[in-house]
Amino acid sequence: MTDLYAETIAAWTGLAAVGRSLVEEIERDLKAADLPPLGWYDALLEIERAAPDGVRPHDLGARLLLPQYGASRLLDRMVRAELIVKKTCYTDGRGQWIFITEQGRKMRQRMWPVYEAALRRNLQERLSVSELESLAALTKKLRATT
């Protein structure tokens, strides 16, 4: 009844399991270091990259692959933590721009060594440069189809 190759199922379950496992490990490492969750790092990085112009919440949500309500909740928590600020868009009174604060920059910089160590430990030390290049090319190809 199905025309899926066994390799298709194996590839999918492998990708899903490895991705979930890596994220869980990074989350544990960040928590152990008394740092915010990984999603905060990704948001801070995207907002920092957008500086000095800032980023609209909708655009940030799209970059982070978050639904509007998820991005909104994330940003509200980050505002309360004083890592970002929201400013009203002067051309659209309903719109907002998001900017990283100095405290947000420092937090992202504190988070990076923990994140980097997990990437080094789980990818760089386990795969050759050639394997990493192949993996990056394959995942880029898969992302291009979605």
CA separation for the pair 75, 47 (Å, rounded): 11
CATH placement of domain 6-144: 1.10.10.10
Report pTM: 0.85
CA separation for the pair 92, 24 (Å, rounded): 39
Whether the Cβ atoms of residue 43 and residue 62 lie closer than 8 Å to each other:
no
CA separation for the pair 111, 97 (Å, rounded): 24
Q: Supply the DSSP string of 108-144, one letter for each residue.
A: HHHHHHHHHHHHIIIIITTS-HHHHHHHHHHHHHHHH
Peptide bond into 57 cis (omega under 30): no
Sort residue 134 into left (φ over 0), alpha (ψ -120 to 50) or beta.
alpha
- Token pair 């980097």: residue: 116
Structure tokens at 121: 């430990």
54 DSSP assignment? -
pLDDT grade for 146, boundaries at 50, 70 and 90: low
The residue extents of the domains of the chain are 6-144
Taking only the tens place, the pLDDT of each residue in 40-99 is 999 999 999 997 888 988 888 888 877 778 888 999 999 999 999 999 877 766 688 999
Residue range 18-45: average pLDDT?
Answer: 95
CA separation for the pair 117, 114 (Å, rounded): 5
What CA–CA distances, in Å, run from 66 to 119, 121, 124? 23, 27, 28
